[in-house]
Structure formats: C-alpha cells, structure tokens
Amino acid sequence: MSIFARVTDIFKSNVNDMLDRMEDPEKMVKQMIIEMEEGLVKSTAALAKAMANEKDLRKQQENAIAQSRAWEEKATVAMKAGNAELAKQALSKKLVFDGQVKQYESMVAQASATVSQLRGQLDTLKMKLDEARMKQATLVARAQTAKTQKEFSSAMSGATSQSAFAKFEKMEKKIEGMEAEAQAFGELSGDLPEDDAFKTMEKDMALEAEMAKLMEKMGGAGDA
C-alpha cells in the first residue's frame, strides 16, 4: 500500500551506495530513521482505521442477523395464529436481511484480510525500525571510516601524481653524485703533493748527476 511505499524504498536501497553519496552520514541516517518513524505513525493510524471499519461491519452484520431472526420469529407467530399472509410478509422481510447478512459476510472477510495484512506490515516495520536504530551508530562509524580511507587514498594519489616520491629519489641520486664527485676531487687533490715530490726528487737526482759529470770533466782537465 502507498503508506508503506517510502519505507519499502528505504530498505530496498543499497545502504552502502547511499552512504558513499552522503555529505553528512550521521545526519542522513537520522533523517532515514525519522522517515521510518513517520511511516510507523501513518501505518498505525491506517491499521486503527481498518480495525474500526471491520468492527463496524461486524456490528452491522450482527444487526442484520438479529433482524433476520426476529422476522422469522414473527413469521412463526403469524403462522401459529393462522395468519399466513402476515407470515409471508414477515418472511419477505427476513429474506431482505438474509441478503444483507451475506453481503456483510463478504465485506467483513475483506476487512479482516486488510487488517491482517496491515498488522503484518506494521510488525515488519517495527522490527526494521528497531534494527535501524541499533545499526545507526555502526552505519555512521562505517561511513566515517570510509570517508577517512577515501581522503587518505586521495592524498596518496595526489602525492604520486605530483611525482613527489620520484623527485625525492632524483634529489637523493643527485646528492649521491655530488658526494662521489667531491670524494673524487678530494682523492685527486690529495695525490698532487705526492706527485710533485717525486718530480722534484727526480729533477734533483738529474741535476746531481749532471754536476757529477761536470766535476768529473773538470777534474780530468785539471790533471791534464
């Protein structure tokens, strides 16, 4: 029935999908519960109205049954009094009320089925509402957790898209290269004094050798 349409839609909806679209999950969950509570009030009112209608129909049915019996008794009295014509008139009235009794039987059966249906739907709605109230805190917590995870993933995705990690690695390699280059220059600059010493020593030895040769020549010339 129409009064249950909104409630049915709520429970048939994909809750997780709804939570994904929520800007304020806690507010939305509370609103859903409020709507269910409003549906419960309307459903209760509809059930009360259906029950009152059934009760009224049963009362009219009982009245028709009573009238049928009353006219039958009158027909019996008339027959005992020997008044067949009056008995026929009484039986004619009885038939009218008998027809009403049959009509009321059908209407009462339909009203009773409606009451039974509404009562079942109302019980289901109460159960669902109790379940929603118990799950309220859990749903809100799940929504907040999902939101936090989404924000974290978005932040990580943003960092990756901006190549922050790649830039960091590139800088690290550049620094390592600079360190290696500095170390190489340090090693080269450390070798220079040693090389110069060898060169100076070689030059001195060559000079001394030349001096020795010169002195030898000069000594030979003096002897001559």
Whether residues 88 and 136 share a domain: the answer is yes
| Number of structural domains the chain divides into | 2
Whether residues 82 and 141 share a domain: the answer is yes
Looking at 5-14, 99-108, 167-176, which range is the least confident one?
Answer: 5-14
Whether residues 216 and 109 share a domain: the answer is no
CA end-to-end span of the chain, whole Å?
148
Q: Which two tokens stand for residue 65?
A: 């049954």
Instruction: List the domain range (segments joined by +) for residue 180.
Output: 165-224
Whether residues 118 and 141 share a domain: the answer is yes
Whether residues 97 and 200 share a domain: the answer is no
Residue 54 near residue 116, CB atoms below 8 Å: no
List, in order, residues 6 or more apart from 84 with CB less than 8 Å away. 78
- Distance CA(151)–CA(129), nearest Å, equals 32
Q: Which two tokens stand for residue 22?
A: 């929520």
Q: Which amino acid is at 5?
A: A
The model's pTM is: 0.51
- What is the percentage of the chain residues whose pLDDT exceeds 90? 35
Whether residues 208 and 157 share a domain: the answer is no
Where does the pLDDT of residue 159 fall: very low under 50, low under 70, confident under 90, or very high at 90 and above? low
Whether residues 148 and 174 share a domain: the answer is no
At 152 the pLDDT is 73
The pLDDT mean for the chain works out to 79
Neighbour-count burial of 33, counting CB atoms closer than 10 A to its CB (0-12 exposed, 13-18 middle, 19+ buried)? middle
